[in-house]
Amino acid sequence: MRLFVGLGNPGAKYEGNRHNIGFMAVDRIAADHGFSPWRSKFQGQLAEGRLGGEKVVLLKPETYMNLSGNAVQAAVQFYKLAPEEVTVFHDELDLAPGKCRVKQGGGHAGHNGLRSIHAHIGDAYGRVRLGIGHPGHKDRVSAYVLSDFAKADQDWLDALLRGVSDGSPDLARGDGARFLNAVALRVAPPRSSATSGRPADRRAEPPSPEPPAFEPPSPEPGEDTRSPLQRLADRFR
């Protein structure tokens, strides 16, 4: 069994925020793979289903980002999971928009949601880092992550979330490489091998006239082609 946790802040006010891309990821997985309806449990929203042969629980903590560990710890204890069986989907400032990386264990890099989870279950859990880009200066980070994705972001964001959903059965099996390949196929699909150049401009040629069904032979030079009747008539002219 696996626990997939999407990080974000609850409520319509935050729904489209960059900080809520973790919520968006598990929402897409739930919708695409026929999970149960969301229900309130463990101080969050929970849905259950299967990805491939694995039973998976999806969790969206509603404790606000800074207290995400409370909900995660409650779910881990209820299902008797090891931290290694938990995967957290979260926004990542240090990755370009649309990039995705998988990581097992390690630090929280200042992310408040991860910091809270560290404090409750340790640092051995897995993470899916979903790139949102960086505003350029640390003083602008808070406003940046708590603002909505721009319209210009929608294409890559949709491709990224579709790729996460496509690869989620591989992730549930512990195959991070295949998961990332599924994401890449959505975000940067391979180009067609067909040449993009136009074919040479060929002017239309008029069709050749069809030969007649029967063409009489041409007379030889000097040959008398008159009929006997014509020759007789000519003698009396």
Delineate the domains of the chain, giving CATH numbers in brackets.
2-187 (3.40.50.1470)
String of DSSP letters for 1-58: -EEEEE----SGGGTTBGGGHHHHHHHHHHHHTTPPPPEEETTEEEEEEEETTEEEEE
Q: How far is CA 145 from the centre of its chain?
A: 22
74-91: per-residue pLDDT in tens? 999 999 999 999 999 999
Rounded Cα gap, residues 48 and 51, in angstroms: 10
Distance CA 8, CA 10 (A): 7
Pair of tokens at residue 75: 């779910």
**From the first residue on, what is the mean pLDDT of each consecutive set of 10 residues in the chain (237 residues)?**
97 96 98 98 97 96 96 98 97 96 92 96 97 94 96 96 97 96 91 48 43 44 59 61
The pLDDT of residue 213: 41
Average pLDDT, the chain: 87
Residue 19 annotated among the catalytic residues of the structure:
yes
Q: What contacts 196, CB < 8 A, 6 or more positions away?
A: none
For residue 71, the model assigns a pLDDT of 98
- Retrieve residue 60's tokens: 């969206």
Identify the active-site residue in 19, 90, 111, 118.
Answer: 19
Cα torsion 119, 122, 123, 127 to 10°: value is: -80
Specify burial of residue 174 (Cβ count, 10 A radius: 0-12, 13-18, 19+). middle
For the stretch 163-174, pLDDT in tens is 999 999 999 999
| SS3 of residue 228 by DSSP | helix
pLDDT at residue 201, rounded to an integer: 42
Cβ–Cβ < 8 Å for 42, 74: yes
> In sequence order, what are the residues at sequence separation of 6 or more whose Cβ sits closer than 8 angstroms to the Cβ of residue 141?
93, 134, 135
Among the listed residues 186, 163, 105, 97, the one whose alpha carbon sits nearest the alpha carbon of residue 135: 97
Nearest to 42 by CA among 7, 16, 77, 13: 77
Q: What is the pLDDT of residue 190?
A: 75
Q: How far apart are CA 8 and CA 22, in angstroms?
A: 6
Model pLDDT, residue 224: 60
Backbone angles phi and psi of 90, in degrees to 5 = -150, 160
pLDDT attached to residue 198: 45
98 sits in the region (left: phi over 0; alpha: psi -120 to 50; else beta) called left
What is the rounded distance in angstroms from the CA atom of residue 48 to the CA atom of residue 29? 11
